[in-house]
Amino acid sequence: MQVVRSKRALKAILSQQVNKIIGFVPTMGYLHEGHLALMKKARLENEFVVASVFVNPTQFGPSEDLEAYPRDEEKDQKQSERAGVDLLFIPSVEEIYPKDVSAQIKAVQAVDVLDGKARPGHFDGVLTVLLKLFMLVQPDRAYFGQKDAQQVAVVQNFVSDYFLPVNIRVVETVREPDGLAKSSRNVNLLEEERKEAPVIHQALLAGKARILDGCQNEKEILDAVREVLRAATLKLDYLALYSYPDFKPVTDFTKPIILAIAVQYEKARLIDNEIVRVSGGETNATNDDVC
């Protein structure tokens, strides 16, 4: 595996990969099994795999601590190599943002709820850095995790709207044995919080069960989730039910539905979701290319 830190070095290596199918996994580092699942999927489906490690400052709000985001570059390099990455791009902030941008990207659809509402400007920053990375890497496919379902929808819309020549591949959420979704932020959980955190997914499964049982009452479904969370010490940031992937109020329970949650612990904010399709079984986003 080659490691580069500059745009020039990245382009030099990519220029040698003539006619190869390129898969790309953008990350903010501090890699866990969820990231590695994306890399392994990319390895299976492409001839050359590029991954990036870049903690993007433009997607952090003024009240969010950019410097507190966990980092471990040496471990990231070792894990990326074991996952089959050919080229790891680890740029500095100055390399990606050498000057103030002359035009701003603003996400306007599927961002007025959930994380888009809770973190104003967050997805603007996500799309800004992704466009820069897509232009640098020029991948055939890019890989994202279903845990970040709203981000997936926003990125898919962006790629479609601007005819970007990249297929978005979505990989199902990777979980701990107790059901907690893998996240770089899990390391910030206190010991007792980590013991309790699996209740988040358990609660989502309770709501999902109500949907699959035929319930079409949003309050009853969300109440089933809250009942499981009743004894938990976590602070509920949001809990919501929307159609997917447009994130509109549910009017047809036979179409894909997302049940999404965000909780705040003392030093960690965790998100999770379940996507359900009542008729024809659950959604299987991992099998769909979106161009």
Q: Is 28 assigned a ligand-binding role in the annotation?
A: yes
35 among known catalytic residues: yes
DSSP category for residue 59 = G
Q: Evaluate whether 18 touches 41 at the Cβ level (below 8 Å).
A: no
Q: Is 147 assigned a ligand-binding role in the annotation?
A: yes
Q: Is 148 assigned a ligand-binding role in the annotation?
A: yes
Contacts of 284 (CB under 8 A, 6+ apart): none
Between CA 93 and CA 91 the distance in angstroms is 7
Q: Is 201 assigned a ligand-binding role in the annotation?
A: no
Contacts of 147 (CB under 8 A, 6+ apart): 34, 173, 174, 181, 182, 183, 271, 272, 273
Between CA 111 and CA 124 the distance in angstroms is 10
Q: Is 184 assigned a ligand-binding role in the annotation?
A: yes
Q: Is 277 assigned a ligand-binding role in the annotation?
A: no
Q: Is 234 assigned a ligand-binding role in the annotation?
A: no
State the DSSP string of 83-137: TT-SEEE---HHHH-SS--SS-----SS-SSHHHHHSTTHHHHHHHHHHHHHHHH
Q: Is 79 assigned a ligand-binding role in the annotation?
A: no
Catalytic annotation, pick one of 35, 40, 41, 201 = 35
Between CA 149 and CA 18 the distance in angstroms is 33
Q: Is 84 assigned a ligand-binding role in the annotation?
A: no
Q: Is 31 assigned a ligand-binding role in the annotation?
A: yes
Between CA 60 and CA 78 the distance in angstroms is 27
Q: Is 34 assigned a ligand-binding role in the annotation?
A: yes
Residue list, annotated binding site for beta-alanine: 59
Tell me which residues are annotated as active site: 35
Q: Please give the annotated binding residues for ATP, written as ranges.
A: 28-35, 145-148, 174, 182-185
Binding site listing for (R)-pantoate: 59, 151
Binding residue ranges: 28-35, 59, 145-148, 151, 174, 182-185
